[in-house]
Structures are given as structure tokens and as C-alpha cells.
Structure 1
Amino acid sequence: MPYWEIFAPENAFTLEDREQLSEAITSIYVDYVSLPKFYVVVLFKDMPANSMYVGGKPANNFVRIVVDHIARQMDNADIRGLCMAAIEETLAPFVKDRGYDWEVHIDETPIDLWRTQGLVPPPPYSEAEKLWAKENRAIPYQLAQS
């Protein structure tokens, strides 16, 4: 699952902004690597003034984005570069174009350390994963179905 935490100044994003940005983030993963939509989780964390510091100074115009990838791993620099470019393009209207300073980083967690609804997710691009994407939910499956 891609799990995003977006730390931003209070009121940086309206409810409509959050919905649009979350949909745009979800589209990265659905369009580029065929993930089920429900794999993508975005958590907005509003930061009160003077609660985030960069270089020892208050950073009240700063957006920090932490991403954890589990469902797919990026196995080479070219793919990582394409992913970062897609992320920067997606964020631009909400962050860069609004004059915020920002930083993004991605961690990758081994897929065997992940469960959803108590189930081991199906192998990437398997028939079972395609069914999960179609139904947009976790469904018990036999490994042989994958």
C-alpha cells in the first residue's frame, strides 16, 4: 500500500483540496502500477504555527510529505526517478504553485510485513490482485488463484 502522511500548516488545504489531492495521489498508483484504489491511504496532519522547525527555526510555510511504499518496490534508479517526477507533478498545484516550501521522501517496506483486513495481499499483477482492484476491497483468495 502506498501510505502518505502530509504535514502542512493549519488551513493549508481545504476539504476540497484534500479530496482532489488524495484522488490525484491515488491516480498515480492506479494509472502507473495498477494498484487497487483502496491500497492508497493519505493522512493529512495539520501543523499549528511554530510546531514544525527546519534548521532550528520555525517553518510555518513548510509541507513535509512522508510516503511508505509496500505493495510495489522500485527496483532501479530510472523507476525511482519517474516516481519522484510523478509525485512532484501531482503536488505542484497544491504546494509549489501556492508558494510553500516542501520536502518529500519515500520509504519502502517489504511486502511480507503487510496485511490488509487480516489477509496477505495477492502477488502484484496477479488475477487475485486484479479482482481486488475491480471490487475495490480485500477478498479472501487461494494462492493458486493468483
Structure 2
Amino acid sequence: MPLWKIYHPEDAFDESDKRALSERITALYNRLPRFYVGVIFQPVADHSFYVGGEPRRDFVRIWIDHIARTLPDADMRTRWIALCDEALAPFIKERGFSWEYHIDETSHELWSIEGFRPPLAGTADEARWIQENRPSPVLPR
């Protein structure tokens, strides 16, 4: 599961922006079942977001949780950050917002979806989840 929590000014994104950005984010994870990817848009009211003790009306903060996969080496992390920057640019950078994001990684062993333990990467169970786009029982590990 990747879960993206996007904290943004109230008027930063309309419904079509949210759909398009969530589709771009989902596309980043093209080796995972699409239903793994969650995106939450959390508008922040004026004078409710402070950076350095000062209110900001032009700031977008993104918190990304990764569980399905981790980024095990510096090269992969560098490439991933570049892909994320590219996906976000039309909605954030090119609109003049300041932004920041970070990625937390959680152990795959501490994850459950609808009572099922998600399959390991590259397994037949994972291929089935991708095809069906839903969780279902997996073979014992």
C-alpha cells in the first residue's frame, strides 16, 4: 500500500485536478494492484498552516506511506524521488506552490487488507490481485 496524504490550501485543487493527480500517483505504482494506492486530499484553511512560525497560503505538504514495496538502495530512492517530482510538477511546482514531501516505509509483515495478508512481490497471488484489482485469499507463505 502506498498512501499519499496531500495537505494543501483550500482552493489549490478542484475535483478534476484531484482525479488527474490521483491517477498520476497511481500510475507511479504500475507494478502493484491499483487498489493498493490511496490518495487523501486534505484542505488546510487559511492561517492553519505555518512554516517557520509564519502562516503559508501557498504550501503543499505530502506524507507518503509505503508498505507494499521499499526502496532498498540510494539509487532506487533517487530515481523514485525524480519520478514523484515529475508526477507532481504540473499540479504543484508549475502552479507556483512551495512543497515538501517525505516517504515512510513500514514492514510488509505489519500489513493486512480486508483481513488478508497481502501476497509477496512477484508471486502468482500478487499477479491475481493485480488482474482482479481486489484482495482475496493467498497461498500460505
Query: Shorter-chain TM-score: which interval?
Result: over 0.9
Contact 2:24 2:87 in 1 (8 A): yes
Out of 123, 132, 137, which is 2:134 matched to? 137
Contact 2:118 2:138 in 1 (8 A): no
Q: What value does the CA root-mean-square deviation take over the aligned residues?
A: 0.7
| C-alpha distance in 1 between matches for 2:76 and 2:49 | 31
How is 1:104-115 mapped onto 2 (pairs within 5 angstroms)?
Answer: 104-115=101-112
The aligned counterpart of 1:16 is 16
1:56 aligns to 2:53 (yes or no) = yes
How is 1:28-107 mapped onto 2 (pairs within 5 angstroms)?
Answer: 28-30=28-30, 34-107=31-104
| C-alpha distance in 1 between matches for 2:11 and 2:55 | 17
| 1:143 CA displacement | 2.4
State the identity %: 48
Letter in 1 for 2:14: T
The structure 1 segments of at least 4 consecutive aligned residues displaced by more than 4 Å after TM superposition are none
Contact 1:69 1:108 in 2 (8 A): yes
Letter in 2 for 1:2: P
User: TM-score, length-normalised on structure 2?
Assistant: 0.98
| 1:141 CA displacement | 2.0
Which structure is higher in helix share?
1
| C-alpha distance in 2 between matches for 1:4 and 1:64 | 10
Contact 2:117 2:138 in 1 (8 A): no
| 1:59 CA displacement | 1.0
SS of aligned partner of 1:106 = strand
The aligned counterpart of 1:116 is 113
Contact 2:60 2:97 in 1 (8 A): yes
